[in-house]
A and B are shown apart, each in its own frame.
Chain A
């Protein structure tokens, strides 16, 4: 089934630990995105990639890094997790950066 998958579904993480959230799409979309969603703040863009091999910073990039080695995968890494990174993380993709985005099911992360 075509779409976007994210892993893990949920995670409890100790502060200071490193964590990589995985995202894979099979729609051959050029653009991919990472958002965090917090109550009352809506969706906030962390990082994006308009095409394989390129990445850019969104609204809230601090503490996060991404890579885009190929079209399908766009992992998000928290180098040293902090409690303020507790959130629901959504990955999305779109044919190009100015078209509708399609979202994955999300990863619920709790940093203690």
Chain B
């Protein structure tokens, strides 16, 4: 079956450091991936996406890397700030064509 997972349930960093959040996916046919951020008490918020014809995409302070060979996705956050503290989810498109498949999330804690 399809599954999307994350390597670590929690990640603690100091303010100003760079953060790397990892995600492993199991379906080699998936061709679209998304990162979401969820702050406490709020709904998931779209951060950045990437399609399988790319291996890197940059946004504002965030970069997503896709390694299709090992089915690995990562989110890099530059100069991490306390406001970046949240749960981060990766998601992939479902081959069944119904909806995205979400991982369970990594909690990022940023201390100042």
A63 close to chain B: CB less than 8 A: no
> Given the complex of chains A and B, what is the CA–CA distance between A38 and B49 in angstroms?
25
CA distance A45 to B97 in the complex (A): 13
Query: CB-CB contacts of B20-55 with A at 8 A, as 1s and 0s?
Result: 000000000000101010000011111001000000
The answer to whether B98 and A97 touch across the interface, beta carbons within 8 angstroms, is: yes
Q: Taking the nearest CB of chain A, how far is it from the CB of B57, in angstroms? A: 13
Encode contact with A along B81-104: 1 for CB under 8 Å, 0 otherwise. 000000001000100011110111
Closest residue to A6 on the B side, CB-wise?
B43
CA of A58 to CA of B99, assembled, Å: 9
Whether B93 contacts A98 by the Cβ 8 Å rule is: yes
Knowing A98-B93, A100-B49 are in contact, say whether A43-B98 is a contact too (CB < 8 A). no
Contact A101 B100 (CB under 8 A): yes
**B interface vs A, CB < 8 Å?**
32, 34, 36, 42-46, 49, 89, 93, 97-100, 102-105
Give Cα A110 to B46, complex, Å: 27
Interface size class of A (residues with CB under 8 A): 20 to 34
Binding site for B on A (CB under 8 A): 31, 33, 40-43, 45, 48, 50, 56, 58, 90, 92, 97-106
Q: How far is the CB of B35 from chain A (nearest CB, A)?
A: 10
Mind listing 15 A-B residue pairs with CB under 8 Å?
A31-B99, A33-B99, A42-B89, A42-B102, A42-B103, A43-B102, A48-B99, A58-B98, A92-B43, A98-B97, A100-B46, A101-B46, A102-B46, A103-B44, A106-B43
* Total of A-B residue pairs, C-beta within 8 Å: 48
Identify B43's interface contact among A48, A56, A90, A100, CB under 8 A.
Answer: A90
CA distance A104 to B49 in the complex (A): 19
A41 to B105, CA, bound (A): 10
Residues in A with CB closer than 8 Å to B93 are 98
Which of B34, B36, B100: most chain A CB closer than 10 A? Answer: B100
